Amino acid sequence: MRRKKLSTEELTNGIRKGDRLVLSRAITLVESQRPEDMEQAEVLLQTLLPATGRSFRLGITGVPGVGKSTFIEAFGTLLTEKGLKLAVLTIDPSSQRSKGSILGDKTRMEELARNPNAFIRPSASGSTLGGVSGKTREVMLLCEAAGFDFIIVETVGVGQSETLVHGMVDFFLLLMLAGAGDELQGIKKGIMEMADAVVINKADGDNLKPAKRAKVEYQNALHLFPANLSGWIPQVKTCSALEKSGLEEVYEMLDKFKRKVKSNGYFDKNRADQQVSWFKENLTDLLRTSFFKKPEVKQRYEEKLKEVQSGKTPALNAAREVISII
């Protein structure tokens, strides 16, 4: 049996009360592509907007196998022990064939999933690049309205395109491994120059000494990048999420960053800049959707698509002819 659809008022009241079930249903609503759901989601977000913006947003990325889920579970547990309410938004890659996604992060964070002060929501990346889902920003606002103090966004992975999360969080943390080798050289610069901190995970056992050496190497590498507009000097830390060591130092670093950027005004400026970027992205998406809905555009598009496929017309020329309808 299908559940009764909640009204905007019911969703608003439930979220303000911190009801996890209502929050989950609201997230499903904002992720929906159905026109009626999208319309209700817009009203809901507008209603809840005054209750947002009070959390600290942490983005975490890293190569597969670096231990992102283990780190988030251990660090998230530490946050809840400090009395903070934590929301974890994890992004799983979608299949380009089936469009499906495993969404297995709750099974990888069993302890945190049972924590009454933590909320874990997996989402599929869909067709969105940048390591996030298409509605990550909206979901963050819902979580903030529900009273969460700390929001962690875990990206799909790491690479030159996995950077969109940097434009929606307050602090961008890059998890690395010691002795990863030259295979990571291709992704280091693009990600590292945006990182507010590099944390070398799995610094335990035989890997402890290599982790300490890697810390020095990464710290030296970070000095080669331009200074951050925030005035913050990127840090390098080591930790073992498995042994739960070094996590307190990571928390203290985040707290120090937060105090610095709030005192120098960068925190509010960065949030404002992110809102402008979000507006521009939405405007572009709406213009694209509106344009391709026009019957004359659809017809011209199909005509030019066949010409491009047959090699009759260059792609750029065909695109210009479609745009000329405007």
pLDDT of 97 > 50? The answer is no
Model pLDDT, residue 96: 40
Largest CA distance in the chain: 66
Contacts of 136 (CB under 8 A, 6+ apart): 89, 91, 123, 153, 165, 168
Model pLDDT, residue 41: 96
- Secondary element (H or E) of residue 152: strand 150-154
DSSP string, 44-85: HHHHHGGG-S-SEEEEEEE-TTS-HHHHHHHHHHHHHHTT--
Grade residue 125 by pLDDT with cuts at 50, 70 and 90. low
What average pLDDT does this structure show over 152-167? 72
- Write out pLDDT tens, residues 205-254: 999 999 999 899 888 888 888 888 899 999 999 999 999 999 999 999 99
CB hemisphere CA count around 82 (13 angstroms): 15
Q: Which of 42-51, 101-110, 209-218, 283-292 has the lowest mean pLDDT?
A: 101-110
pLDDT of 201 > 50? The answer is yes
What average pLDDT does this structure show over 124-135? 53
Grade residue 187 by pLDDT with cuts at 50, 70 and 90. very low
pLDDT of 76 > 90? The answer is yes
Secondary structure, 3-state, 158-198: CCCCCCHHHHHCCEEEEEECCCCCHHHHHHHHHHHCCCCEE
Mapping DSSP to helix (H, G, I), strand (E, B) and coil, where does residue 267 land? helix
Grade residue 88 by pLDDT with cuts at 50, 70 and 90. very high
Model pLDDT, residue 98: 41
Model pLDDT, residue 188: 56
Grade residue 127 by pLDDT with cuts at 50, 70 and 90. very low
Q: Which of 7-16, 76-85, 205-214 has the lowest mean pLDDT?
A: 205-214
Q: Which of 49-63, 208-222, 242-256, 309-323 has the lowest mean pLDDT?
A: 208-222
Grade residue 4 by pLDDT with cuts at 50, 70 and 90. confident
Strand partners, 58: 152, 171
pLDDT of 54 > 90? The answer is yes
What average pLDDT does this structure show over 180-189? 50
Model pLDDT, residue 51: 96
Model pLDDT, residue 192: 80
Question: Domains, the chain, ranges and CATH?
Answer: 1-51 (1.20.5.170), 53-263 (3.40.50.300), 277-323 (no CATH)
Model pLDDT, residue 170: 97
181 alpha-carbon distance from chain centroid: 26
DSSP at 13: H
Whole-model pTM: value is: 0.87
